A and B are shown apart, each in its own frame.
Chain A
């Protein structure tokens, strides 16, 4: 599938999503009239502009770098890691593993992880007093 065709598909999906939500709000959601007016107007605009985009999907398409599955997995992996190990362990661990995986020297990777840990401890725990998520593993152990 070409990028222009994929653009049309993506836009059509968003148009259908918005229209479906508005219809749901008017029917099954049972929202009062006043609560449906603005979402309805927005959905009309989405549909109109969406059709305009679908008519010329290639307009404004610049050369894009291809998505790397490996990069997507590296970025997405942080979310489950945070749920499991929390911020204080998860983020320095992520920094260490990421740097090592990208063939950075061990000492630099360790310094990076220590720097991230220090940033969390000083800025977010001590100064901002943010009650950071401990993570599933730490909560089970405590």
Chain B
């Protein structure tokens, strides 16, 4: 083990690997900054470049680009109100109100630093679990995944700001729309009305871009500027944001832990982790009603989880050759291109490469945060540009981002259609984040409940980890009430 670690340090310090990390960092950050271009696109574009690289160099190149996408995406989410990639949508809930208060620099500083801290914790989780991860991953089957997805659904009300009824309604509507297309187990197509586009189900990127970006663009086109500058300059605010992450280090660590655990479980999906972390942060806060009004904790929690889940997602990829996310599936392909076969044998034969990937993940997250912190003063000034210049550029990025998901004009039409829905949601006070969370979780609940019932019958609810997860869910839901009752009693 220690030999492997020393060997990993030596391998990462090689000029070829350093070059690979350095060249992939700006690419990953740029893909994050541009709305609609996800880590998946970054990997798809970069895979051809790894031909001819040696194993670790190629993997370091791809992993770096993939891991730092969400760091870049958080900046777009806060400054423009448009999620750089779907997992950044949770950052909008408090990031945009912070920007509107003139605290854009602080929000970006906190998001970027939280991303680095989360990424480091995710790498640490991977490091700790690498030698013992087989039983950990094997413990999570479809029954446990179903209960985790249900746990996510119970957070719908917590993610919502304002009226809980409206948050739950929006979430339920998101769940309903996720059922369009093939039913995951029997393969029966639903609600497609003869449209080939609907047969595959609605895609998340056009939805996320539509409901978040179009209302923002409409407001800009109506002449509203993005920020009303107040207080210190964005550069100074940024350091306040960074300090806030360390002031709330417990929150950051807890959110990163949630992200890493969700990342480990194949099939739960990276979009869930930041929302669950946000909801947990809100439920655990003494004054949960502050969330959604522009508090820094609402930015720290989802961003810590976002980057931590990448370390977690590497666990099943390396240990079993089972990708934890779509991005990891592409990375798995790259392993094969580079002549490496992930799985139990991989860790026995190449534990040093596994350890080196942990180091790459840690280094990439640190450097990504450093680059973004250096760029923040300049990037934060984007919000002061006149709408006449911002609107056409953002419209171009949004339509191109939606189109490039599948090179399909119907995705652009879907973006506009969901844009109209987003405008209505904003106007009627319905929560867009819970809508997106419902859309992500709906198919997971359906798929894993059906599989669990087929394998175990209703007794799947009595499996030990399932019981623990149910207890945690109930505890999570009851915690704010229990705390309030406790405080009332203490005061009396």
Contact = CB atoms under 8 A, between A and B. Distances in A.
Contacts of A55: 165
Nearest to A116: B396
B176 A46 contact: yes
Contact of B172 (A46, A78, A79): A46
Given A38-B442, A95-B396, A115-B393, A53 B409 contact: no
A63 B413 CA distance: 29
Interface string A112-130: 1001100110011001101
A112 B412 contact: no
B389 A71 contact: no
Task: Categorize the interface residue count of chain B.
Answer: 35 or more
Interface stretch (B63-71, B76-84, B419-427, B459-467): B419-427
Contacts of A25: 190-191
Nearest to B397: A119
Contact of A79 (B413, B428, B429): B413
Interface in B397-428: 397, 399-400, 403-404, 407, 409, 412-413, 416, 419, 423-424, 426-428
A120 B191 contact: no
Contacts of A115: 393
B224 interface: yes
B31 to A, nearest CB: 10
B416 A49 contact: no
Interface of B: 34, 37, 41, 45, 161-163, 165-166, 168-169, 172-173, 175-176, 179, 183, 185-186, 188, 190-191, 214, 217-219, 221-224, 386-389, 391-393, 395-397, 399-400, 403-404, 407, 409, 412-413, 416, 419, 423-424, 426-430, 442, 445-446, 450
23 contacts: A21-B176, A25-B190, A34-B450, A39-B179, A42-B175, A43-B176, A45-B168, A49-B169, A49-B172, A52-B169, A60-B166, A65-B222, A71-B218, A71-B219, A71-B221, A75-B419, A87-B403, A98-B392, A99-B388, A104-B388, A119-B393, A130-B400, A130-B403
